[in-house]
Amino acid sequence: MLLGLNIRDIVLIDRLDLALRPGLCVLTGETGAGKSILLDALGLALGKRAESGLVRSGAQQAAVSAEFSIGRNHPAHAILREAGLDGDGEAIVLRRLVGADGRSRGRSLTHSRMASVPASAVAEEEGTSAVQ
């Protein structure tokens, strides 16, 4: 389940911190309200192809973080362990940075590993903070 989405400098969005709760969550709005931008940002965190057009005009880079709750028996735990990450937690954060030149880099952290990284280091390195 998606718990939260942090967006920085993506298309028209300067900064957005969206926290979601269990149950039905619906994105509604008029044409041009930004629903597609939210979905593009989520897709970026999930590995969708990055494009320089996603970076807000005048920004050096865009950043998105998506926090997911995953159950103890979820197959993602095996994938995390294979990648050398602590895959025993019940939440994971996927981050993606996209430079104005279109180059991107991704990162995934489990909550137990996030706890070992000082927030100031994350902010300096990523230009954004983790969804909490």
Report the share of the chain in percent with pLDDT over 90: 38
C-beta separation of 131 from 93 below 8 A: yes
φ and ψ at 77, to 5 degrees?
Answer: -60, -40
The structure's pTM equals 0.74
Residue 6 has what pLDDT? Answer: 96
User: Is the pLDDT confidence value at 44 over 90?
Assistant: yes
**Domains along the chain?**
2-126 (3.40.50.300)
Residue 109 has what pLDDT? Answer: 60
Question: Of 2-6, 13-17, 42-46, 119-123, which range is least confident?
Answer: 119-123
Rounded average pLDDT over 102-110: 75
Give the count of beta carbons closer than 10 Å to the beta carbon of residue 83: 9
Question: Of 6-15, 19-28, 72-81, which range is least confident?
Answer: 72-81
Q: Strand 91-99 relative to strand 61-69: parallel, antiparallel, unpaired? A: antiparallel
pLDDT band at 33 (very low <50, low <70, confident <90, very high): confident
User: Is the pLDDT confidence value at 128 over 50?
Assistant: no
Residue 27 has what pLDDT? Answer: 85
Q: Which two tokens stand for residue 43?
A: 């897709």
